[in-house]
């Protein structure tokens, strides 16, 4: 089997309370392992506090993981020095959620697009300009955008600029963190199509973070469902939507309001709140809201088990979760 581009093993991140405050440790990620094969899109889905953004940031070491390995092309990134990490980052780029906050208002689009190339000392000034212009063309923006400022563009266009900035470095891996969540519905589909098109055309490998399960279905090959910092289920997107195995995945899919009033509303409504990651439940973290929770669930952390080829779930209630 070909080595995956990205391989995450036992990734754990605990945030310590700041300063002298007496709060408890926030367990944002607990023992997360998964692979991102070359040329594939892996989706990370989950609600607030599920750890999806923490994974994205840990992979690029924008935050330092507490323990675990992040192997990129076989190199464990967590062991690298800052200078070595900077060299690796050329091959990994991040697309942010908020296209209004992620572009400097004082720089021209050209400066924004060439900055990364300058930091990486890639090519001559002329070559850098050329690559930036090619990236603009790739995201369907006019060439004259190069000399304009971010405020002259709409939300959807700014997100295209954010994508162009990531593409300019010709990265091997793109981490896209809720790239369409801040956009209007009619613009979301345009950006999703652009990302899908670029992914296929350029053979990009992508970690796609989103809370929108319908968008994830369209763009991802594999989906990882997270809850309170742990993986609940991993499956191909076909299998996950047709045959969700984990009670949480089923509840999550059932909670999404369907834009079809004729559809029968047999919604399963989960009771209670998402627990605090500062004080997660013992055993299975989902058990406090799970309709099938048994006594055992409080005692053991359910291991991620393969239920059919490529389909994993972390639930010991095989009798109800299939």
Partner 1 sequence: MHATPILDISGLKMVFRIGGREVAAVQDLNLTIAPGETLALVGESGSGKSVTSLSVMGLLPRGVGQVAEGSILFRGKAGQAQDLTKLDTEGMRQIRGNDIAMVFQEPMTSLNPVYTIGEQIAEPMRIHLGRSHKDAAAAAIKLLADVGIPDPERRAKQYPHELSGGMRQRATIAMALACDPVLLIADEPTTALDVTIQAQILDLLQKLQAERGMAVLFVTHNLGVVAEIANRVAVMYAGRVVETGTVADVFARPRHPYTIGLMRSVPKLGEATELKRKGIPLPTIAGSVPSLVQLPQGCSFAPRCPFAIDACRADVPSLYETGNGQKSRCIRWQEI
Q: Does 152 bind partner 1 (CB under 8 A)?
A: no
Q: Does 273 bind partner 1 (CB under 8 A)?
A: yes
Least Å from the CB of residue 266 to partner 1: 12
Q: Does 251 bind partner 1 (CB under 8 A)?
A: yes
Least Å from the CB of residue 145 to partner 1: 15
CA pair distance 32, 50, nearest whole angstrom: 11
Q: Does 279 bind partner 1 (CB under 8 A)?
A: no
For the record, the structure tokens of 18 come out as 């700041």
Stretch that binds partner 1, among 58-66, 74-82, 266-274, 299-307 (CB under 8 A): 266-274
Q: Does 218 bind partner 1 (CB under 8 A)?
A: yes
Please answer whether residues 230 and 285 qualify as being in contact, where contact means their C-beta atoms are separated by less than 8 angstroms: yes
CA pair distance 173, 167, nearest whole angstrom: 10
Which residue of 140, 147, 152, 238 would you call a contact of partner 1, by CB under 8 A? 238
CA pair distance 204, 320, nearest whole angstrom: 38
Q: Does 43 bind partner 1 (CB under 8 A)?
A: no
Number of other CB atoms surrounding residue 213 within 10 Å: 20
Closest to 247 measured CA to CA, from 216, 291, 212 = 291
Please answer whether residues 14 and 180 qualify as being in contact, where contact means their C-beta atoms are separated by less than 8 angstroms: no
Least Å from the CB of residue 233 to partner 1: 15
Which residue of 269, 295, 309, 319 would you call a contact of partner 1, by CB under 8 A? 269
CA pair distance 297, 259, nearest whole angstrom: 35
Size of the site for partner 1 (CB under 8 A): 46
Q: Are strands 75-76 and 67-72 parallel, antiparallel or unpaired?
A: antiparallel
Q: Does 274 bind partner 1 (CB under 8 A)?
A: yes
Nearer to partner 1, 82 or 262 (CB): 262
CA pair distance 146, 133, nearest whole angstrom: 7
Stretch that binds partner 1, among 96-104, 129-137, 261-269, 313-321 (CB under 8 A): 261-269
SS3 of residue 164 by DSSP: helix
Q: Are strands 26-36 and 6-15 parallel, antiparallel or unpaired?
A: antiparallel
Which residue of 7, 93, 172, 188 would you call a contact of partner 1, by CB under 8 A? 188
Q: Does 237 bind partner 1 (CB under 8 A)?
A: yes
Q: Does 270 bind partner 1 (CB under 8 A)?
A: yes
Least Å from the CB of residue 155 to partner 1: 8
Q: Does 18 bind partner 1 (CB under 8 A)?
A: no
**Torsion, CA 193, CA 98, CA 96, CA 188, rounded to 10:** -10
Rounded to whole angstroms, what are the CA distances from 134 to 73, 110, 155, 173, 204? 26, 11, 21, 19, 16
Stretch that binds partner 1, among 23-31, 83-91, 121-129, 260-268 (CB under 8 A): 260-268
Stretch that binds partner 1, among 90-98, 121-129, 170-178, 216-224 (CB under 8 A): 216-224
Which residue of 154, 279, 282, 296 would you call a contact of partner 1, by CB under 8 A? 154
- Which residues, other chains included, contact 168 with Cβ-Cβ below 8 Å and sequence gap of 6+? 113, 114, 116, 117, 131, 132, 134, 135
Q: Does 235 bind partner 1 (CB under 8 A)?
A: no
Task: Give the residues lining the site for partner 1 (CB under 8 A).
Answer: 47-48, 154-157, 184-190, 192-193, 196-197, 211, 213-215, 217-219, 237-238, 241-242, 251-253, 255-262, 265, 267, 269-270, 273-274, 289
């Amino acid at each position: 089997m070909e080595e995956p581009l990205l391989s995450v093993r036992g990734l754990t991140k605990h945030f310590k309370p700041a300063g002298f405050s007496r709060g408890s440790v926030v367990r944002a990620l607990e023992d997360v392992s998964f692979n991102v094969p070359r040329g594939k899109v892996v989706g990370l889905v989950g609600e607030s506090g599920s750890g999806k953004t923490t994974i994205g940031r840990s992979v690029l070491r924008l935050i330092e993981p507490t323990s675990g390995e992040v192997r990129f092309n076989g190199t464990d990134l967590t062991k690298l020095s800052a200078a070595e990490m900077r060299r690796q980052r050329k091959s990994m780029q991040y697309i942010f959620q908020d296209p209004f906050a992620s572009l400097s208002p004082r720089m021209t689009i050209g400066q924004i697009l060439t900055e990364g190339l300058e930091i990486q000392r890639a090519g001559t000034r002329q070559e850098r300009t050329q690559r930036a212009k090619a990236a603009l063309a790739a995201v369907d923006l006019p060439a004259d955008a190069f000399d304009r400022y971010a405020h002259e563009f709409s939300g959807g266009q700014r997100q295209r600029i954010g994508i162009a900035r990531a593409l300019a470095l010709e990265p091997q891996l793109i981490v896209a963190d809720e790239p369409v969540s801040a956009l209007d519905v009619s613009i979301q589909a345009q950006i999703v199509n652009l990302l899908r098109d670029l992914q296929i055309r350029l053979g990009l490998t992508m970690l796609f973070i989103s809370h929108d399960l319908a968008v994830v279905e369209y763009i991802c090959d594999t989906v990882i469902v997270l809850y309170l910092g742990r993986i609940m289920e991993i499956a191909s997107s076909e299998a996950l939507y047709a045959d969700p195995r984990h009670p949480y995945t089923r509840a999550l899919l059932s909670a999404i309001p369907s834009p079809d009033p004729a559809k029968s509303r047999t919604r399963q409504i989960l009771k209670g709140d998402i627990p605090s990651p500062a004080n997660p439940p013992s055993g299975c973290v989902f058990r406090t809201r799970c309709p099938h929770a048994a006594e055992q669930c409080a005692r053991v952390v359910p291991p991620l088990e393969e239920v059919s080829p490529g389909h994993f779930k972390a639930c010991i209630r095989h009798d109800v979760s299939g």
